[in-house]
Amino acid sequence: MTRYIRDMRGHGPDAPDPKWPGGAKIAVQIVLNYEEGGENCILHGDAASEAFLSEIVGAAQWPGQRHWNMESIYEYGARAGFWRLHRLFTSMSIPLTVYGVASALARSPEQVRAMQLAGWEIASHGLKWVEHKDMPEEEERAQIAEAIRLHTEVTGDRPRGWYTGRCSVNTVALAAEAGMDYISDTYADDLPYWVKIADKDQLIIPYTLDCNDMRFATPQGFNSGDQFFAYLKDSFDSLYAEGEAGQAKMLSIGLHCRLIGRPGRVMALKRFLDYAAGHEGVWFARRIDIADHWAREHPPMDSPLPSQMSREDFVAAYGGIFEHSPWIAERAWGLELGPAHDCAAGVHNALARAFRSASREERLGVLRAHPDLAGKLAAAGRLTAESTSEQAGAGLNMLTDEEREAFTGLNTAYVDKHGFPFIIAVRDHDKASIRANFERRIDNDTETEFAEACRQVERIAEFRLMDLLP
């Protein structure tokens, strides 16, 4: 067996109602990244200067040297940009989450105090604003522990949320190990979701790279404040409309003091905030508020997941989906299953693949395992529970003498001609349409009927799985 660990399904086609406070149609969550003083710099013990997210698009690191221009750009964020943004958000009483790099926070006590007086959440943005992709796991674990220690020392509170940003493949698991209430190193959804990491149910609150002022500092990005405003407005309008239609979502917005804090950009942000605040049913929230709300309203579900079942449990659960053919479930279990298969459509796809790839004789055996409609087994009460329910639901357990005689004759003639019983997904039909299809299909050639019967077997399986799984 192979198991695919990436989750390509998420909440599926019917996302849960987040039940935002007050029936809000959208949750708007704004992050202010505070990285100034935590970036790569030889003064910080780093090997080279910073090269990421500045006005110097395409900058390269300078090994062993200070990059005076780069340092001054970061300094602008702490000296001027932060205070401009602080005045804007406090004047509008809009709460923020700060992703605070611990070493940057330690070098900015006045800014930290201002964040706290404003009631902003200060989540952890790691120890230093550096790349982690090549960092050994033990070193990253140690840096996370030191980030939490320093953050707690500087702010007086242990961080409850985590976002590294320039992360490694180990980051999320290590942050979960460190006991975070939520982790945001993902861009995979418009709503929070739970993942199982080791034995822990970990809440994930996705972040954003598109509704993010970082695109002012990338080759393909925003060239003017008007472009930023238009993109935020379109994102808001799209999600707000989904909320009005009963599918409320979360809009994440990412900001940086040294980028959006420039005078030529901040007014675009203000225009958007005024626009969003002018709508009814908008919840401006900190990430920790969303985390607490989601944990309360949508706690993790500890139901067994098909992709994580043992062969024995998988076959016990789904071996009867295809009538009297547990071998289909056995083969399906051996496929590459993952989170996308932890639903009715996913298990059905796996079972159908095993059925479709079987030999003609094996598939013929599945067809022959199906009972006649309204036949002798039904009269004797010897159908499976699923078949009994399905036939009863179509009214085939309440036939007149004429109807029973007609079905008996059709069953006999069909089997004599084709060599297997007439099969139809009765939940798609009523008694009259079942009989009409029977009378029409009996005249088909056997190859046509074999193909149709196989399609109907798969449809029956789909209905049965929908009774068991979301």
Q: Which residues are catalytic?
A: 370
CB-neighbour burial class of residue 22 (10 A; exposed 0-12, middle 13-18, buried 19+) = exposed
Angstrom CA distances, 463 to 322, 344, 423, stand at 11, 9, 14
For CA atoms 223, 55, 257, 83, the dihedral sign is negative
What does the alpha-carbon distance between residue 327 and residue 52 come to, in Å, rounded to a whole number? 55
What does the alpha-carbon distance between residue 413 and residue 431 come to, in Å, rounded to a whole number? 19
HSE on the CB side for 277, CA within 13 Å? 13
Does residue 19 come out as left (phi exceeding 0), alpha (psi in the -120 to 50 range) or beta? left
Q: 86 with 118: CB under 8 angstroms?
A: yes
What does the alpha-carbon distance between residue 81 and residue 108 come to, in Å, rounded to a whole number? 13
Rg (CA), the chain: 30
Amino acid letter at 111?
Q
What does the alpha-carbon distance between residue 339 and residue 305 come to, in Å, rounded to a whole number? 8
